[in-house]
Amino acid sequence: MKANQLEKIRELNDTELQSKLKELKAELFNLRFQHAINQLDNPMRLKAVKKEIAIIKTILRENELKNGAGA
């Protein structure tokens, strides 16, 4: 993920991040299902989606700690 994409994600508020996270989890589920039945076109997409999920979760946690709700 490029730096400018990361900055765009950091600019989103928590509700937008939560909705993006939900979409990515649904996509990951579909990719895993396609992989199980051998219809996955791009296996590297699995890795990319997992990485995006991790980045969003990290940003959500940073925001949580910044607001003092995580302690």
CB atoms within 10 A of CB 59: 17
| Lookup result for tokens 């051998």 | 38
Q: Domain residue spans in the chain?
A: 12-66
Which CATH number fits the domain 12-66, given the four candidates 1.10.287.310, 3.40.50.1780, 2.70.98.10, 3.30.300.20? 1.10.287.310
Q: How confident is the model at residue 2 (pLDDT cuts 50, 70, 90)?
A: confident
**Distance between CA 39 and CA 2 in Å, rounded?**
28
Q: What is the pLDDT of residues 20-64, one digit of tens each?
A: 999 999 999 999 999 999 999 999 999 999 999 999 999 999 999
Claim: this prediction has a pTM higher than 0.85: yes
